[in-house]
Amino acid sequence: MKIDRTVVRSLALFDRTSDGDLDRLLAHATARRVAQGDVVFAQGEQAVCFYLLLHGRLKVMQVTEDGQQIIVRVVHPGDLFGFAKALQRPDYPGTARAATDSVIISWPTDLWNHFVEQNPRLAVSAMQTIGQRLEEAHTRIREMSTQEVERRVAHAVLRLSRQAGRQEEHGIRIDFPITRQDIAEMTGTTLHTVSRILSAWEERGLVAGGRQKLTVVDVPGLRLLAEGARD
């Protein structure tokens, strides 16, 4: 599949990369379409490639030994993912599955160190990307340690509306199919609790739900909840 250079060029990751360097990077890259539900790589697999999402959405999941599942993160267009080599790991720590039809680029992992060493500015960019991800993880830890479930869910939904929201007539619609179960796995709770919370919010006119759909109707109202307003 042909790589659309204008799309790649516009990504923040390559802000400071020269056209020449970009060409050299793309020379070794492969683009690929993945259909909704397809797995890009599975937990425990040998890490043969690292990836960049051009279009669509992916969910990265982990399963624990006892079969419990959590969503580690949602991959948005422009995000690097599956860079196990940066973590000194031979295998992928999670499974990446397309939440909607998507387009990805991949490189062989062997090239990671090479690219980073040849291309220090890219190294800085990549490091900032990972750094941001680390900060997100710490935010999540902080929320899970100190906040009750409803606030955590409120934060998660607001984050999704920011990162994957599309303005629609009645509010901001999360632009990919997402289940209550997904939200539960993102916030460390159960689908039952999420369902109850969303029902209550719908009652109060904060959101509008539906099967695998979610639209935030009243952003300020939700934000108030997220910031921990008492009653």
Partner DNA sequence: CGTATTCTTGACTTATATCAATGTCGGTGG
Partner DNA sequence: CCACCGACATTGATATAAGTCAAGAATACG
- The residues that touch a second copy, with contacts defined as CB under 8 A, are 62, 64-66, 68, 70, 72, 83, 86-89, 93, 113, 116-118, 120-121, 123-124, 126-128, 130-135, 137-138, 140-142, 144-146, 185, 188, 227-228
- Of 86 and 191, nearer to a second copy (C-beta) is 86
CB of 96 to a second copy, least distance (A): 14
- Of 2 and 170, nearer to DNA (C-beta) is 170
User: Which two three-digit tokens encode residue 100?
Assistant: 């909607």
Per-residue x/- mask for DNA, residues 201 to 230, rule CB under 7 A? -x------xxxx------------------
- Of 120 and 210, nearer to DNA (C-beta) is 210
33 exposure class (CB count in 10 Å sphere: 0-12, 13-18, 19+): middle
3-state secondary structure of 61: strand
User: Which two three-digit tokens encode residue 189?
Assistant: 């709770």
Distance (Å, whole) CA 224 – CA 214: 19
CB of 174 to DNA, least distance (A): 11
Helix, strand, coil content of the chain in percent (nearest 5): 45, 25, 30
